[in-house]
Amino acid sequence: MSEKLAVSGGTPAIPEGAVKSWPPIDDLDREVVLASLNGDNHAFGPNCTAFQNEFADWNGNRFTLTTNSGTAALHLCVAACGCGAGDEVLVPAYSWSSSATCILHHNCIPVFVDIDFDTMNLDVERIEAAITPKTKAIMAVHLHGLPVDMEKVMAVADRHGLKVIEDACQAHGATFKGKKVGKWGHCAAFSFNQNKCLCSGEGGMFVTDSEEMLERAQSLWSFGETRTPSQDRDYHAYAVGWMYRNNDLTAAFGRSQLKKLDGYLAQQRANAKRLTDCLRDLPHLLLPSEPEGCEHNWYNYTIRFDMAALGHGGDASDFRDKIVAAMNAEGVQTGVWQKFILPVMTVFQAKNGYGQGCPWTCPLSQPVDYSPEQFPVAQKHSDTHTGMTVPLRAPNGPEVAELTAAAIRKVMENLDQLEG
């Protein structure tokens, strides 16, 4: 039976205020942040060192550096792997821009690889064909919290003598074959941005088990110096460096949220399961997958629409936008996370990172082709997806997943109202 959609003046399926915001803030958060504020070191203070140690214990890494963003942590990974001018780093054609721009930050060249439609991750079967004599590393992005098949990635890397960077910025606590992400590659980056499963407002963490990689990362992290702020600094720049360190207040917030992270992840998984159960029989909706051996953290619950079956193969992104607008009107907090595949972004099409065509015009670089038609799977995903984070996050429970599913169902069963 037809039901008037909210976008056309009907009553929204989700009552206002039913979905609670992220992250939950409690007395522990207030206590530790206020204690930091009342302290006497608001730069790289004691909470920064403690946060590094506690995150290392939680994820199982030997070494960590807390940074001012996940992007900074990714740049540290590129430097730690010994990548330099003209070196190529393989990266999926669909991800957040930082997965590729961090490569440019170190005078290196991103080389894109198409994605696997089912997992939305790097297509591991396409990695080998993209390797050239200039390839130095592979960026394995655990997109939306679903691990890449790291056994296959590491096997290719081992055959070709390449380093592996895990972009785990969205993947806290996700596992592949029982091992946490950030433990498979040679180094990894996590983000603590507002949207992330571990939120400290902003911030990030570089992790590795290699002391040599730690030393390379430390130099970039702190002005090109070789001694860290907790050591006896000589204030001498030995190489080009940035100021990527975290600060004490942010680290204090991160520490308090870390204590609650396992509970948050358990809630997300329960909510994602309930949402999937409620949507499983809905036609023309492609639900996210969780392949055998992978444990998703459900940072983002991403669905796709079967546009060919809906008769909108020729205007997929336009009709997708209409569906998303209708879902928003019903109270579903969903959106189009990344409307562009990475190769079509201006910086790559223009091949001009920071003037004079650099780093592509560097004499150590070789030509690279960013023609978008090479990445049809990434483009199909980009044109047909929508994703959500907040409805699955604590303090929301399965009842919010049920409300969200009912609103999605209402829209999908009344798509005729969006035609024309």
| Active-site residue list | 196
Yes or no: say if 129 and 178 are a contact pair by the CB < 8 Å rule: no
- Rounded to an integer, what distance in angstroms lies between the CA atom of residue 119 and that of residue 385? 13
Burial class (CB in 10 A: 0-12, 13-18, 19+), 208: buried
Give me the amino acid identity at 158.
Answer: D
Close Cβ partners of 169 (under 8 Å, ≥ 6 residues apart): 70, 73, 74, 96, 98, 189, 190, 191, 193, 196, 204
DSSP 245: B
DSSP 222: B
Total length of the chain: 420
**What does the block give as tokens for 193?**
């941005």
- Rounded to an integer, what distance in angstroms lies between the CA atom of residue 1 and that of residue 158? 58
- Rounded to an integer, what distance in angstroms lies between the CA atom of residue 77 and that of residue 43? 23
